[in-house]
Every structure is written in C-alpha cells, then in structure tokens.
Structure 1
Amino acid sequence: MLVEDSLVVRQLLIHIVGRDPRLTVVAAVASGEEALATLATARPDVISMDIRLPGIDGLETTRRIMAERPTPIVVVADAIEDSSLRISMNALRAGALSVVEKPVATTHAGYDAVATEICTQLRIMAAVPVIRRRPIGAEWAGRVAGSTISASSAPTFAWTKAEPPSVLAVAASTGGPPALAKVIGGLPTTFPLPILVVQHMGPAFMEGFAAWLNGVVALPVALARDGERAEAGRVYVAPGDRHLELSGGGILRISDAAPISGQRPAATALFRSLARHAGRRGIGVLLTGMGEDGATGLLDMRNAGAVTVAEDESTAVVFGMPAAAIRMAAAGAILPLDRIAAHLGRIAVPEPRP
C-alpha cells in the first residue's frame, strides 16, 4: 500500500513499484485516515509511508498501524527537508523499519538509484514479521515475532584503573535509529568514553540522522570528521557512504575504501579498527539489522580481549546481524535492548581488582 498525499509523487511511486514484477500495489491513498480505513481490506504486506500528510501525519499513522494492525512500514521522505526528516526519524522510533529517499522525477539524475532502492526496501521489509507494539520502558517499537528472552548473565572483566576501557563502538542497521536512541540515551552524561556509531542508512539522510539523535539523547552527537581526536562523552556518527575507523592515539579516520559485504559504512570496518588500536580496552555492541555486517569485526574484537555485546533476539527488530555474531561466538554478552545501557554504564568505570 502506498500512502502519499501528492498525486504526482503517488503516480510516480505506482510507476516505480509497477516496474518490479515481485511487487503489486494493492492500494494507493492520499492520507493517513484513508490508510487506516483501507488497511483491513487491502491487507498489504508492506506500506510505503509519506510523512507530511494532511490531517493525521505519517508519524501518527505509523503509531496507529503498529498499535492496531502491525505491518512493515518503509518511510519515503524528502532527505533535504529538515522538519520532514525529524518526523521520519521519529517514525522509525514508532515502529517503521527503514527510511528511503523520495523520488523527484524520471528525468532527475538520481532517479534510477532512488527507484531501485525504494523497490529493494519494500521487498526486503515485506518479509520482516512484526508484532503489536510492546514498549520497553517508554520507547520501544515493533520487534520480530516469535522471540524468547535468552539474555546471558553479565560477564566479569579484568580491567584495572591503570588500564580502563578507552572507546565504545555501536553498530546497527534495520531498526537501528530507535535502538541507538535507547542505548545511547540510557548512558549517563558523565559517560567516560567516546562513542563511535555506524548506522546503515542512505547517505542523504546521515547528517539529518546525526542531528536527530543529538536532539533525543543527552550526550552530544555529530558526524565524525577525518583526523579529529575522539573525546570522552561525545558520539561520532559515520558519515554517509564512508567507513569510520579508529586509528592510533584515538584519532578518527574517514575512508572511502571499498564496501565490506556491500556496506559502507561497515560495522566490520569500525570493529576491526578497534581490535587493532584499542585491543582489550575496546567495547563493541552490535544491534538490530539485516545481513551479517559487524559479526566478523566483533569476533576480531573479542579475540583481541575486548568486551563484546550483541542484542538479544527478544528485542531485535531484525535479528540478522546480532544472530550472525552469536553464531560465531563473537558476543561475550547477549542482552535485550533495555539492559545494554546499564551494562555499559557498569563496565565503563571498572572497579579495581582485589
């Protein structure tokens, strides 16, 4: 089902989806009210959601759908419209699975890439099972159905005050923005480590994503810049279509090296750099996401003596990346989303060994 108030864009989306033989448009509506009224009869596998709608906006429509008839939702947003982008990010918190760039016109230079990405995301997200929203704390959105709690007990660490942890890296993909907001937002303002973040998202959205995250967590957030020194208590987000890596002396490097498993930025690139330059003083966390990015990098970190954490299946919107890490024994701890921040807070300031 396509939800888009602009007749021109709605017809363009119908054209784009119609070119893909694996997709069928069962309904195309112009408002949130129409979407809610049509949902039960159309029974779509996935919804393309505009955000700036007349009446009930896309954010509220997403909330109601996830509460009443959970369905995978892909937000189609204007990447250069600040207010629209903020709403789009909040829609991800409300249960939407991903955000893609809105098509402009068939004559636009980037049209083919945008059209392909829209169809790809709709096909992928149609296969993600979601359930009625059951918040963890106040903010958790939809999760994969059929999950069970399987959190491991928190391990003990051998850090000393002379050799404390030095850096935290967190990576996510599908379902990542609300998960990152939950984890980073749960850290104290006195958190003593720099936090490096990889989030798979279209390059056009990364600056807006960093600005959005900065507005919903207490710690300062910005896109990482090549050559800057990572400072304690600050969050550095990998820019669009560039790897973020840690180098010697806590210096950040932004790289246009080849994608890893199709991803740039790649979680594995970030985690491997921590394994090399932070060793046992690193902490790596792998959250929800489709695919396997980050798993081998997290294993490198664990083999280097670092603390490693994977999100438990019970809270992961898509249990792909964490599952891959767990299968290869890369995760020293497996925790549900609402326990990760407290876990990190405890281990960031280790007590002295007896």
Structure 2
Amino acid sequence: MTRPPARVMIVEDSGVVRTLLTHIIDSDPRLAVAGSFATAEEAIAALPGLRPDVISMDIRLPGIDGLEATRRIMADHPTPIVVISASMDGGAMGNSMDALRAGALSVVEKPVGLGDAAYAQVAHEIRTQLAIMSEVAVVRRRMHIAAPVPVQPPRQRAATMLLVAASTGGPPALARLFGALPADLPVPILLVQHMGASFMEGFASWLDSVVPQRVTIARSGDLPVAGTIHVAPGDAHLVVGRGGTLRVADDGPVGGQRPSATRLIESAAVALDGAALAVVLTGMGEDGATGVRALLAAGGQAVAEDASTSVVYGMPAAAQRAGALSLPLDLIAPHVRRVLERQR
C-alpha cells in the first residue's frame, strides 16, 4: 500500500518564501503542504487541529520567534521541526543551534529564488530533510543517570585522541557531552558533525560559546591540541596522518557522507595504532560503524549513545553492533573521564 505524503506545516513570515517553499514541497510526492502561516502564534494555535507530520520553521519571525516557538511546540505538541535559516551570521546561527537544543531536528538553508545558482541543491536538501524528519518519533525522554559506569577491558591502548561523531540531533548532544568534560581535557578532540557546509563556521562558533573547550575548524597541517575541539570543515573529510597531524581531504563521500566519521576513525586506527577513543552519538544511517570496527581491532576503544537518549538511533546502533560500548548520553562523559584518569 502506498504511504500517504507527509503533511508539512510552513511557518515563514515572508510571503515570497512561503510561496517558494510551497512550490518545493509540492514538487515532491513524499510531501504535501498541510498549512502555511506567517507567524508562530498562528501556527501554534492551528497545531492541535492540523497535526502536521513535520514543521518547516523560520527562526526570525515577528512576535514569537522560531526559537521560542520550537520550545513551546516541543513542550505541548512534540512534532518534528526542521529549521529554515536565511543567515549564517552569529546571531541567527546561535538561535538555530539553540532551536536544536530545544528539540528541532535539523537546520537547512533557506531558498533564495528560482534563479539562484544553488536553488536546485537547496531545494533538494529541504525536501530530503522534511521527508526524513517526518518519520522521526519526537518524544520527551528521561535520562538514565544512576546506572553504573561500565569500563572496557584494560588490554586496550591508552587513548591519545577523542574522536566524536554525530548527525541528526547532534548539536544539543554535543553541547551536553562536552559541557560535562573539563576545559583542560588531556587529549585533543576531533569532531565530525553532519551538517550543510555553509553552516559549519557558524556551528563551530556556537559550540565554542556553549562548551568549556576551545573550538576551531580543522585545517590541513594542524597539530591537534589537548583540550581543543577540532571540527571537520563542511564537505571535506578530516583524517589523522602519521605523527598525529590533521589533514583535510576532498576525496569522494564514504557511505554518502563527507565529512565521514568512518574515514576519521579508520585513519586514527592506522595513524595512532589504535590509541584513540571514539564516541558515536545520535544520527541517521551507519556512518562511523566501519571505523569503530577497525579501531577496536587495532586496540582502541569506542562508545555509542544508547537508544534511550538518542534522537535517532541509527549511527549509534550500527556502532554498537560493531562492538562499541552502549551508554546513555549523560554517562558518556563520566566514562571518558574515567578512562583518561585511569591512563594517567
């Protein structure tokens, strides 16, 4: 039986952009516009009766803005939300990231117009994100705090780097994880977050403002610094070379992803002889799992976020099947600290 199209609520104050988004959505048989609103107040009032499968949410709105609207929707009528952002500047990007922390699932770039050179790519990304996110079960989750912290076997190599990967639901999970780790962490952190290339500088700037560690976009030739989060740049792989130097590579996607968590973790397994700890957080797909398998075979260590706290239990599930230890999000930082303290 053919599945009915996902019903999309559009929340956008610009009439031109609402028309453009309607055109983009109606051109995809997986999607249908359920309602279109110029203000968050109107959208919130209509939500109980309309009951859309997914919401396209502008951040900059008159009256209640998109961030506050996201908070209210997730508190009263949890619904998958895709943030549509027109700007990559600090303020707009910060609000978009805060919306993700409040429960939105992803951020995509706002379309400019049919004549724009990037229109086809932006429209495709909007349709893809709305279709995928419409299937995510958005619920309020309770974190498991009291469970004991398992320790992996002592035969493994001492970790000299922390490798972290995330996709859908990643920004708030990363803020939680890094916020629970000290600023003077004795190892460098290498991060792959799946996100549109145009958002990466803003994402790194936002993350730098909410975690105790320094955050920077990685560049080829950099020597990773303890206590610093080196973020893979947009649309490029981050890999570890011999000697521990960082390299940015533009070869093809791995499993459809660039940057690829698998590419990063596999490179560390080789370059560091397995002396690394990988953490795979919430996200769709299976990126990272093959890398986890290689790292564990080389004597490294790996942790995957448990299903009980993952927004999307795709990447962590694949990592767990590859041999990673499964822990709820709030227990990952204590485990990392315990591993590093035991090494010292």
- The answer to whether TM tops 0.5 is yes
Cα deviation code 1:231-269 (max 9, x no counterpart):
111110000000001111120000001100110000000
d(CA) in 2 for partners of 1:101, 1:135: 31
d(CA) in 2 for partners of 1:321, 1:64: 29
d(CA) in 2 for partners of 1:105, 1:292: 34
List aligned pairs for 1:54-65, cutoff 5 A: 54-65=62-73
Shift of 1:308: 0.5
Equivalent residue letter for 2:301: V
Partner of 2:61: 53
The normalised TM-score by structure 2 is 0.94
d(CA) in 2 for partners of 1:63, 1:293: 30
Partner of 1:86: 94
Of residues 139, 144, 150, the one that matches 1:153 is 150
Cα deviation code 1:256-298 (max 9, x no counterpart):
0110011000000000011001223211010100001100101
List aligned pairs for 1:167-206, cutoff 5 A: 167-206=161-200
Q: Is the 8 A contact 1:151 1:336 kept in 2?
A: no
Shift of 1:310: 0.5
Q: Single out whichever of 120-129 and 163-172 deviates more from structure 2.
A: 163-172
d(CA) in 2 for partners of 1:108, 1:150: 52
d(CA) in 2 for partners of 1:321, 1:184: 19
Cα deviation code 1:37-62 (max 9, x no counterpart):
01011110000000011111101110
Change (3 A) 1:229 1:82: same
Helix, strand or coil: the match of 2:32?
coil
d(CA) in 1 for partners of 2:322, 2:203: 31
Are positions 1:241 and 2:235 aligned together?
yes
Of residues 10, 15, 21, the one that matches 1:2 is 10
Change (3 A) 1:150 1:25: farther
Of residues 249, 258, 267, the one that matches 2:261 is 267
Of residues 41, 46, 61, the one that matches 1:33 is 41
Partner of 2:113: 105
Shift of 1:195: 0.1
d(CA) in 1 for partners of 2:218, 2:339: 25
Of residues 52, 75, 83, the one that matches 1:44 is 52
Shift of 1:150: 9.4
d(CA) in 1 for partners of 2:12, 2:339: 46
Helix, strand or coil: the match of 2:342?
coil
Percent identity over the alignment is: 55
Q: Single out whichever of 196-205 and 340-349 deviates more from structure 2.
A: 340-349
Q: Is the 8 A contact 2:170 2:281 kept in 1?
A: yes
Structure 1 residue runs of 5 or longer lacking an equivalent are 138-148
Equivalent residue letter for 1:68: D
Partner of 1:282: 276
